[in-house]
Structure 1
Amino acid sequence: MRKNRQFLSDLIEYSGALIFVKDHEGRYEMINRKWEQVTGRMRQDTIGRTDEEMFPGPVGRQFCQNDREVMESGSVREMVEFLEDDVHGKRHFLSVKFPVRGDDGTVRGLCGMTTEITERVRAEEALRESMERLRSVSENLADGMVYQIDSGIDGKKRNFTYVSPAVQALHGLTVEEVIENPLLIYHQLDEKYLVFLAESEAEAFAAKSRLDVEVPVHLPSGETRWRRFVSSPRFHENGSVIWDGIELDIHERHLQGEKRRELEERLRRAEKMEALGTLAGGVAHDLNNVLGILVGYSELLLDEISQDNYLREHIEKILNSGVRAAAIVQDLLTLARRGVHSESVLHLNQVIADCRKTPEYENLMEKHPRIRVEMNLAVDLLNIKGSLSHLQKTFMNLLTNAVEAMPEGGQVTVMTANRTLDGPVQKYDDVREGDYVLLSVSDTGEGIPETDMKHIFEPFYTKKVMGRSGTGLGLAVVWGTVKDHRGYIDVRSEVGKGTTFMLYFPVTRQDLAATDVAISLSDYMGNEEAILIVDDIEEQRELASRMLGKLNYRVRSVSSGEAAVEDMKNNPVDLVVLDMIMHPGIDGLDTYKRILEVCPGQRAIIVSGFSATDRVAQAQSLGAGPYIRKPYTLEKLGLAVREGLQKKS
């Protein structure tokens, strides 16, 4: 018995809990070592004293009140009590107190066991504060919603266990509706992205990794907005995977990203055009010199042989091929925006009417007999200012594209109209307000897939067979022409229904020039005037000499600008035919400047295998006459020489 008492005494003394016994007045009768350690008060200072004496103030009074309740109720009570001092601050304790009864069964005191729970209370308070902050953030998050999804053990469930009130603003749904039916949110997702979302969720579940996706959401209001869903997994004690996530409205950021990508694409396209322009500019002069010889001598041969000569057909094909090759070179210059062209006042309806009379139009219609072309041309159409040849080529390119988009037949609708632009045009950030002439070409064909739409104006991008149905330059030329005319292009297409190209050209208030009359050979025949040809290419000098000799001019030629200046010192001429680009040595402009020093007021015309440049304009400002581009025909050269001779010196 004595051993049992000692064991019990040791158990109480060395317990990790504070153990104490008080009498019916609340005076301490016994305390253990842990009580001394925690309170800092020794046994001899505690026995016989009450809590109000030991801990003056509210703490002591509360201890006494708790003790009275235990003894008065005669039952076991569990309560949280605290101590507070300058050293440890406020400390929390979990106390279990029960009444001690005498032999007669009356309550003669109480016994208590107390465990410090300060760290646990602080952790719980921190957790409550954290949860409150999370609740506050989730409920006040601008353009965002916090959620939790229970995906189950296998990852196939989609049960929302929590959604913040922002679901009302983001989805037009209440918290209760989403908790009850999670599919309400999933049904708002764009169906084209459902497979992508499911695959992303499966991958994240398998790897237990973060999920981060961006998808468009169709709202009950009819609006579509881009959203970002980000969530991380954690395991519930029952084995389910819980996804703690946030949904953010990123619509404006997505639009800005699209705009940035579009600007980058424009820059890439511009760089591509610039590279192509550099390439075209590098080869145009030399290539046009070669084509000039091909076209020029073919024309001279046709003039020398009879109509029934069997070689005539072959020579005509050589001539036509040379002309087409020259047109391709010009297309390259046009789409690279190097094709500075002369402008005149034009009526777009007349441009279209003239195109319909060309062999190119007739051949196109003959090859596609099941195509109907409907013309809806405004009778009050205003004039525009531009290049006739470029606009004709633009119309024929659009018409050809429309016809070839309907291999089984269909209808092409050509429309012109007056329009006032006071708002944005698709793909243009800045549109000049004002009056425009609209050219619209629509077809009922196959339509253009969205993946192809962004490439249609790129050079050499074509779905046709290269060399048979086009070069891939057609729409690129259209783009370059509209750009050069300070206009805009809008394209609308739907796969299986057709495509519409809408071109806007600025209106001019100037009147049309007088209608040209037919030109006969007598209009540009010479009268034995003296002509000096200056060209660094021998074949070009010979060709020009033969052509002008045939037109009754006295012709001589030199191979450089320096030689021309020396020749003019002793042999004046009526006109100089001056090549603008010559290698090596001085070019056409510098040659003309030196000639003017020797022969002030000397008449000249400019020829070049490249488009007109600033140096051509400078030569003309000094007194030079017309500019013509190689390859030229007998008629073009003859008319230019005649105009140059008529210019006052």
Structure 2
Amino acid sequence: MANASLRLQPQDFSHIDRSMALSFGLLITSLMLVALVAASGYLRTAMDREQSRLATLTTEVLADALSRVSFAGKYQARLLIEKLQKDEDDIAYIRLIDTHGVIIASSTSSENGLPASNQELEHIKPLLSESTTIRVRKLSIANLGIVREIGVMYYGGFNNQTQGVLLVGISESSIEKSLYHGLLYTAFLLFFLAFIGIIVTLRMSRHFAAPTRELAKEIAYERTRLESIVDAIHCGTWEWDTSSDQFILDERWAEIIGYRLDEMAPITSKTPLKLAHPDDAPMITARLRAHLCGETERFHTESRARHKDGHWVWVEDSGRVTERDALGAPLKFMGARQDISARKQAQEDLRRESERFIALAKVSDTGVWEWDAKAQYLWCSHEYFSMLGLSPANFDLTGKPNLENTWATLLHPGDKDQATEAFARYLAGEKTSLYENTFRMRNAQGGWVWILSKGRTLRDANGRFTDKTLGTHINITSLIEAQQSLEENQERLKRISDNLPDCALYQIDCGKHGETRHFRYLSEGIERIHQVSVKDVLADSSILYKQALPEYQQIVADKEALCIQQMKEFRIEISSIMPDGSQRWFMVISSPKRLSDGHIIFDGIEIDITERKRQEQQIRELNATLELRVEKRTTELQNALTTLQRTQNELIQNEKLASLGALVAGIAHELNTPIGNAVMLASALNQNQNNFRQKIESGLTRTALSEFVSEVAESSAIIERNLERAAELIRSFKQLAVDQTSYQRREFSLKGLTHEIALALHPSLRKTTIQLIDQVPEDLHLDSFPGPLGQVLINLINNALVHAFEGKAPNGRSDEGGASNRISLNAELIRSGWMRLNVSDNGIGISPENMRKIFDPFFTTKLGHGGSGLGLHITYNLVTGILGGKVEVQSDVGKGSCFILDLPLVAPALEQKPE
């Protein structure tokens, strides 16, 4: 690197370049004039001959190069040039220079990518401007000698545009051989001139060449470094000449949005805005205008550009005005564009992850905190406070430091020291592990909440720890309470297991394959039933195994091995000898399970069954005389059963007679009214007859006769009606009595049967506030047994009269004017050949505990008050037996009951007459 005193500015470099060009030009011109004058005759012939060969060779090189370079790319072009130089000894060098003055490919690989020298640029400028198609010059190059350089334009690409200049340097060594003898003539002169030129050149180099070389080296280094940086950040570059509105882009700029540079032609300063997202264009324009006006030091935007395939690419543009005129107007504006889609996507992913994390924290009621040790600031999420029933508004979150305000002051006095010290130790330590601690914090109600605090110090991009520690607070009060409850339950279970009589609980570890026996737990009951201490058995499990009799030790080993193999529960009874010499029996029940570490354990219980074994022995001894005792007892039970059945039959018959007696009493009471009326009218009629006879003896008048005839007719009609009523009652009673006392089968109307029953029960109902409502349809006929069915209905109605309304007073009148307490009869066809008969009431209902026993024999709630408990039992037997149906009851306490009879319209045939 040149010293500061030698570091030249661009204008100084231009002055030196002109001076050196002039000096070397004069020197070369002088030398050439002398050489040309001395060898002009000889050179004329040699030049003509070599010009022909040079034209042919140049044509071949150009044809080959121009056919490949345009499409093959830089790498292939460089390979081609190297190959041509190797194949042709006369070619000194080949260079491809693009329109920007950069050497694309050179036979000297170190020149690839370097800018062309100013001399070369001046030489090829007419070619680039297309004012001429070929340029030839002659150069003297160290190690190469005299070189004739030919420059030609070359075209390429899909539209055959100008791509640059091809420079081919051809060594004139062959000419030198031809001119060797002629040059001897001028050797002395050339040597003299060369000596003078060397001296002059050395002196000039001391003044001009050294700074120039240093500046060129520095420029080359800076250009290489800049190109490396641009290539490393993989960005595109752009340059805007505002005076000519020329906008220059590189291939990477176009590649970012999916184009090739030639596809974007024509390129103007408006091209970036045309490709920008409509929402971003105003922002880009505003920032560009502000920078061009000098309001901002640098132009910088992050915007979206439309990709070739239609999607949007996030790009970052950064640039600045590099040259302004005297009035401050921008002349040159340069910058770079970088694809930041990946960064934007990462930012979006980070935002989503952050939102997901915050949502998860809210859903799980997890408080999040971040401690900045440098700023001494503790940031807390809303859930940090809400889990305590507090609000962030109650705390000064902007004060510094606030660790005391938002954390330490809320700690339980008993936990404050250990919690703050633990956090301080973590911050002062290596921080490689996770910070974790539990403590209590005060909630809004003044109570204490158990908190599990976890955190970790964050690292920067280089893996170094930062000043920030991020963590969470989780409410584990329920977990702590559950653990405390578990510990209490475990302690309670231990006390229970230790105090269980005649048994012991245990857990034994059998290893991973059943190879060991080691007790993990033993209840204190082992000391009572085995006469050994828990401590000794925990240390040596063989103490218990050796107590078993030898024949049982092998049985236990086999059982445990099979249990481990099949992982099934086993139970076994064994006999053991105690330390005091007594023999005891034990039942061992155990079930295996495999732990997460692979070990197999048995959880089991050992029960002392010595007393049971003794009782079993006594039972075996008693069984020897059991047969005689069983035979004797069976005879006694058979006699008792016969007596019971006879008594039950008598009770059932008495129940039937009692039911019939109730009918007789009702009919007698019902007959008393019409017969009494008839007797009373007959007595009155007899008295009227005596009075009429007296009137005849004293003198009968027409009026007296008419009155007597009228009274006789009226009395006769009343007597006739009452006697017909009595006859009807007698007929009904006769039919009902016949049905009740026999199982005669016949066809009958269900309505007629219910009418007769209602008539028979009317006297009993009239004494109460209960109304019997008969809603049975007229057209329902059965081929069945009216006697049993009538008995069933009478039993159900009487049951309702006795039990349904006990303690219930009528609360008004029904629509028909009757009492509100009702017993209803209704029937309907439910399916082909079947009918349903309901006997319901609106009484007090039946309690659930009585519902299960209501049809049991001898069950009654009136025991000792005249109830036999057989009425509903008889009803059940009649319905399910001779009538061939089924019966069930539904009841709601306080709302009444309903007996549902499902009966066939044609009763099944009787195999034998019922008793």
**TM-score, scaled relative to structure 1:** 0.37
More helix by share: 2
Tell me which of the two structures has the higher relative contact order, counting C-alpha pairs closer than 8 angstroms and 6 or more residues apart: 1
**TM-score, scaled relative to structure 2:** 0.27
